[in-house]
Amino acid sequence: MTRPDAELRAIRKVYPGGVVGVAGVDLTVGSGEFFSLLGPSGCGKSTLLRILAGLEQPTSGSVRIGGEPMDRVPAHHRPTNLVFQRLALFPHLTVAQNVAFGPSLRHTSRRETAEIVGRMLDLVGLVGYERRHPDQLSGGQQQRVAIARALANDPTVLLLDEPLSSLDLNLRVQMQRALKRIQQESGTTFVYVTHDQGEAFAMSDRIAVMNDGRIEQVGSPRELYLTPRTRFTATFLGDTNLFEGEADGTDLRTDGITVRLPARGNVASVRPEHVAIGTRLDDGYDNRFSGTVRDVVFQGSVVRYTVVLDGGPSVSSEQSADAPFHPVPGERVETGWRTSALTVLDDRPT
């Protein structure tokens, strides 16, 4: 990693009344990273972001930004800016005046402020909108102004708390691309909070998966998806087939079948796209079972099959919609996966 821009050490937050918001988090975000905190509602993402911003004091633990301890630095003196879902543009100011707000507070010269405003509006793709008021902009455009306004302060770390969640799906996807580009072009470190796996995958260099006030795993989207370490990470990031049972060497006895694992373990996962289906599978599939198709869900580019294994559990298999073999419910099939496609998980329950 490059120089760390945000460091959280042993952070705990217990709210008055005893609710544990954050239950012990260590995290380092490198300079220039697009870093996401991903997890279900209530897992502590916003609390952690507000602690970075200085809007919330941790019960214990320490925060550094840009290498500097922040414990005694109030929010308005921290080199951070926060962008929310519900944006707080000044309605009576124009786009240019909104973006100029931060620099003018710092007594930046008129000339320099104009230069910053021009550069920021160029960055977010809103050149030509300088004189409009927020109510003359679409939701996506307003959110771009909010980001330009935050970046005009040249923060060391830009903090974003579900900034796209009020936008409809098409606009959200478009804004994800825009945000990723803005982050890369500005080189600013982003810490981005979302409960949406697709959103985190689309933009992040690295993601911290959070559950119940803790971090389950940190990694690139690819690492997290392909090699989840915990049951929570495996099931939260997309669908998966989970097997739980008794280890016997590297075999796992579960629910009437024996699954061969790449290593000893009591819990293992295999993604539906790694589960093959056919009339007869070749020997490369060292986990191979006969079964009956229970249902078929056509999803456009892919088809999802649920197959009940003989004397065993059901498994999900995802196949390309144009695959030559497309069985129907009730049809007898063989289904299987390679041992190497299985991931052995931590068997601590969540």
Which residues of the shown chain bind ligand ADP in the complex (CB under 6 A)? 15, 19, 21, 39, 41-47
- The nearer residue to ligand ADP, 85 or 258, going by C-beta atoms, is 85
> Within 10 A of 279 (CB to CB), how many other CB atoms are there?
10
| Partners of residue 68 on adjacent β-strands | 65
Q: How far is the CB of 307 from Mg ion (least distance, A)?
A: 38
Stretch that binds Mg ion, among 42-50, 148-156, 321-329, 330-338 (CB under 5 A): 42-50
Q: Residue 8: name its binding partner from ligand ADP, Mg ion, none (Cβ under 5 to 8 Å by kind).
A: none
Q: How far is the CB of 299 from ligand ADP (least distance, A)?
A: 29
Contacts with Mg ion by CB under 5 A: the residue count is: 1
Q: What values do phi and psi take at 159, rounded to 5?
A: -105, 130
Distance of CA 182 to the CA centre of its chain: 18
- The nearer residue to ligand ADP, 153 or 235, going by C-beta atoms, is 235
Q: How far is the CB of 350 from ligand ADP (least distance, A)?
A: 16
Q: Quickly count helices (H) and strands (E) in the chain.
A: 8, 21
> Within 10 A of 277 (CB to CB), how many other CB atoms are there?
23
| Partners of residue 38 on adjacent β-strands | 194, 209
Contact 143, 98 (CB under 8 A): no
- The nearer residue to ligand ADP, 19 or 321, going by C-beta atoms, is 19
Q: How far is the CB of 14 from ligand ADP (least distance, A)?
A: 9
Stretch that binds Mg ion, among 40-48, 115-123, 184-192, 204-212 (CB under 5 A): 40-48
- The nearer residue to ligand ADP, 21 or 291, going by C-beta atoms, is 21
Q: How far is the CB of 47 from Mg ion (least distance, A)?
A: 8
First to last CA, the chain: 30
Q: How far is the CB of 85 from ligand ADP (least distance, A)?
A: 11
- Which residue spans within 205-350 are E strands per DSSP? 206-211, 214-219, 241-244, 246-248, 251-254, 257-260, 267-270, 276-278, 287-298, 302-309, 314-320, 332-337, 343-345
- AA identity, residue 51: I
| Kind plus residue range of the DSSP H or E element containing 80 | strand 80-83
Q: Which residue has the tokens 């290593």?
A: 263
Stretch that binds Mg ion, among 12-20, 41-49, 88-96, 280-288 (CB under 5 A): 41-49
> Within 10 A of 33 (CB to CB), how many other CB atoms are there?
22
- The nearer residue to Mg ion, 46 or 230, going by C-beta atoms, is 46
- The nearer residue to ligand ADP, 48 or 147, going by C-beta atoms, is 48
Contact 52, 156 (CB under 8 A): no
Q: How far is the CB of 12 from ligand ADP (least distance, A)?
A: 12
Q: How far is the CB of 46 from Mg ion (least distance, A)?
A: 3
Which residues in the 297-316 window bind Mg ion by CB under 5 A? none
Distance of CA 312 to the CA centre of its chain: 34
Which residues in the 44-103 window bind Mg ion by CB under 5 A? 46
Q: Residue 269: name its binding partner from Mg ion, ligand ADP, none (Cβ under 5 to 8 Å by kind).
A: none
- The nearer residue to ligand ADP, 46 or 188, going by C-beta atoms, is 46
Q: Residue 21: name its binding partner from ligand ADP, Mg ion, none (Cβ under 5 to 8 Å by kind).
A: ligand ADP
| Partners of residue 217 on adjacent β-strands | 209
Residues that bind Mg ion (CB under 5 A): 46
